[in-house]
Amino acid sequence: MASRRSDVRRGPAVLASAVAALLGAGCGPATAPPAGDWPHFDSLARLRSAADVVVEGRLLATSQRRIDVALASGTERAGGEPAAVISYTVHELEVERVVLGERAVGETVRIGQPSDADSTRMVVGDTYLLFAELSRDDLPLSLISPVQGVYRSVGDGAFEPVHDANPLSFGEEDLAAAG
């Protein structure tokens, strides 16, 4: 598991990317990556090494939530700093396999992404492999990228990207070799 110190360092970057994606939404065709400053990974090994949590499981539910992602504490915001509330799509996944991170089979995990991020083409009941990073304790895990953080399990140990702009497809053997 990543240290809490690295989580704190990455947190502002993830939140800044989420806000940037919201501000830049609607730019370009539907198959283009979101306008935010999301990381791009040229290999499965780099994708996996960027994640704190990699789990495979069945999608139980998807909901829309407004989440306060402000970095400042409540007392600091009371002094006049506006809260950073964004719309998030939160996916609830029943974990069937843990590839990386401290999660348990049978556990339900919540993984979020900004609602306008163009990767929410997930179907309740289908099985997915998700690459996520830790966030604050009161927030869901965050996809490491809305483009490259979600893969559909298509059987026979194969995974295909959910997002059209994601060039990475791989199988079980590739996933094992990347770790």
What residue numbers bound the domain in which 113 lies? 4-178
Scan for tokens 């974990």, then name that residue: 95
Mean pLDDT for back-to-back runs of 10 residues, the chain (179 residues): 42 43 36 56 92 96 82 50 74 96 95 70 93 84 89 92 89 88
Alpha-carbon distance 173 to 179, whole Å? 10
Task: Report pLDDT for 120.
Answer: 57
Number of domains in the chain: 1
- Could you tell me which of 66, 64, 69, 63 has the C-alpha nearest to residue 18? 69
H helix count then E strand count, the chain: 4, 8
Amino acid at 75: T
Task: Report pLDDT for 68.
Answer: 75
Contact between 171 and 157 (Cβ < 8 Å): yes
Q: What is the CATH number of the domain that holds 37?
A: 2.40.50.120
> Which secondary structure element, helix H or strand E, spans residue 3, and what is its range?
none
Contact between 134 and 7 (Cβ < 8 Å): yes
The string of DSSP codes covering 8-50 is: HHHHHHHHHHHHHHHHTTT-S-TTSPPSS-----SSHHHHHHH
Task: Report pLDDT for 39.
Answer: 82
